[in-house]
């Protein structure tokens, strides 16, 4: 059995969201948090103990000693006798609780780039099943400024230093491991899509039904055949008291560049604007600076995430901002 999912398999798993009908009212859930209530707390951060760090280092040494390629390693090749139940709790927090978890203290400064990549891949295997992040089959993403043009509609913005608007990725969980931070900017900005939905319903209940109808998602250059230009994706699905949301500001909005896509109606434009206004407000958003050795795990069903623009200033030859990214599927 493959240790990872293809891009198509992962997308199908993610978008197969149970739906019985619109939520009957405001959704009460641990995932319906507001950033202003969490900003002064660190309950969502796990600081690794010395013993846990050493366990990770021993597991990495074991995985490296197998002589196998990173992509062929299994969770058993990265044994975590005491951390495995802790990771299970993180996964439960992501799937059933707040929808995010930050882990600090990963000793990235000790490791080579290959070792850091091997570590993150193997930890991901304990969290879920990795999947490809694009049709090319890339399994471990590198979030860094490649010099790509942020105004090019075919460029994925994680390859630039520009601001990234609120969105979700097509996987149950996205994990980011900070290897090198930016000198200026680059803050991670997250918001509860459940809390945002409740606020949209409170302010403009007339707009809520449109969240259960498909928006066209611009696929940009992600279809290798060049024939598929957009996909219909309903932002919200609701069943058994749980709201699962896929939202992508840039790709929902840029789709109108295609000749066969009509312009947004005024209510549609109002809905997109209101959704992002609420998500980005100080009351609802939670900003965090990811430092080297931090892992941020996020649910793509209950959290929308964004990033502020950043600059890499410093000495000539200084390492630019660099994060590793995993997309994971869970049961």
pLDDT tens sequence across 152-209: 666 666 667 678 899 999 999 999 999 998 877 788 999 999 999 999 999 999 999 9
Assigned domain for 84 exists: yes
* Region 7-31 average pLDDT: 96
**What pTM was computed for the model?**
0.93
Give the mean pLDDT of the chain: 92
Count the Cβ atoms, other than its own, within 10 Å of residue 164.
Answer: 20
Quick one: pLDDT at residue 228? 82
The residue written with tokens 């803050």 in the block is 187
CA 253 – CA 220 distance, rounded (Å): 12
Sequence-distant (≥ 6) Cβ neighbours of residue 272 within 8 angstroms: 249, 252, 253, 264
Q: Which long-range contacts (CB under 8 A, 24 or more apart) does 68-71 make?
A: 70/114, 70/117, 70/118, 70/121, 70/140, 71/3, 71/4, 71/121, 71/139
With b for 16 or more beta-carbon neighbours within 10 A and e for fewer, the 120-159 pattern comes to bbbbbbbbbbbbbbebeeebbbebbbeebeeeeeebbbbb
pLDDT grade for 93, boundaries at 50, 70 and 90: very high
Sequence-distant (≥ 6) Cβ neighbours of residue 226 within 8 angstroms: none
Assigned domain for 2 exists: no
pLDDT tens sequence across 125-155: 999 999 999 888 999 999 886 677 666 666 6
Which helix or strand (DSSP H or E) is residue 117 part of?
helix 113-127
**Domain count for the chain:** 1
pLDDT tens sequence across 228-286: 888 999 999 999 999 999 999 999 999 999 999 999 999 999 999 999 999 999 999 99
User: What proportion of the chain, given as a percentage, has pLDDT over 90?
Assistant: 79
Assigned domain for 22 exists: no
User: What proportion of the chain, given as a percentage, has pLDDT over 70?
Assistant: 91
Assigned domain for 183 exists: yes
Quick one: pLDDT at residue 185? 75
Higher per-residue confidence, 120 vs 185: 120
Quick one: pLDDT at residue 186? 82
Assigned domain for 24 exists: no
What CATH code is carried by the domain that includes residue 224? 3.60.130.10
Give the structural domain span for 110: 7-17+29-329
Output the six-digit token pair for 186.
């680059």
| Residue 313 backbone dihedrals phi, psi, to 5 degrees | -105, 150
Quick one: pLDDT at residue 318? 55
| Residue 317 backbone dihedrals phi, psi, to 5 degrees | 90, 0
Is the pLDDT at 316 greater than 50? The verdict is no
Assigned domain for 239 exists: yes
* Region 42-70 average pLDDT: 96
Assigned domain for 201 exists: yes
Assigned domain for 1 exists: no
């Amino acid at each position: 059995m493959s240790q990872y999912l293809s891009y198509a398999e992962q997308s199908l798993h993610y978008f197969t969201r149970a739906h019985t009908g619109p939520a009957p009212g405001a959704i009460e859930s641990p995932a319906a948090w507001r950033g202003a209530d969490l900003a002064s707390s660190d309950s969502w951060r796990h600081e690794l103990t010395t013993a846990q760090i050493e366990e990770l280092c021993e597991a990495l040494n074991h995985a490296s000693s197998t002589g196998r390629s990173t992509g062929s390693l299994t969770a058993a090749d990265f044994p975590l006798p005491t951390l495995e139940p802790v990771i299970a709790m993180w996964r439960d927090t992501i799937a059933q609780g707040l929808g995010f978890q930050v882990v600090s203290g990963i000793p990235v400064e000790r490791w080579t780039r290959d070792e850091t990549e091997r570590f993150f891949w193997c930890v991901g295997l304990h969290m879920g099943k990795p999947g490809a992040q694009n049709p090319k089959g890339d399994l471990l993403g590198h979030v860094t400024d490649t010099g790509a043009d942020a105004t090019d509609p075919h460029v994925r913005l994680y390859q630039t230093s520009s601001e990234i608007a609120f969105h979700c990725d097509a996987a149950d969980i996205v994990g980011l491991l900070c290897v090198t931070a930016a000198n200026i900017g680059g803050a991670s900005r997250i918001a509860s899509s459940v809390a945002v939905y409740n606020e949209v319903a409170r302010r403009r209940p007339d707009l809520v039904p449109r969240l259960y109808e498909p928006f066209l998602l611009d696929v940009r250059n992600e279809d290798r055949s060049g024939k598929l230009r957009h996909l219909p994706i309903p932002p919200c699905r609701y069943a058994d008291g749980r709201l699962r949301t896929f939202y992508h500001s840039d790709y929902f909005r840029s789709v109108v560049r295609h000749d066969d896509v009509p312009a947004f109606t005024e209510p549609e434009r109002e809905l997109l604007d209101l959704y992002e206004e609420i998500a980005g407000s100080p009351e609802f958003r939670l900003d965090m600076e990811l430092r080297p050795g931090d892992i941020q795990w996020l649910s793509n069903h209950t959290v929308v995430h964004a990033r502020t623009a950043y600059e890499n200033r410093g000495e000539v030859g200084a390492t630019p901002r660099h994060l590793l990214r995993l997309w994971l599927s869970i049961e």
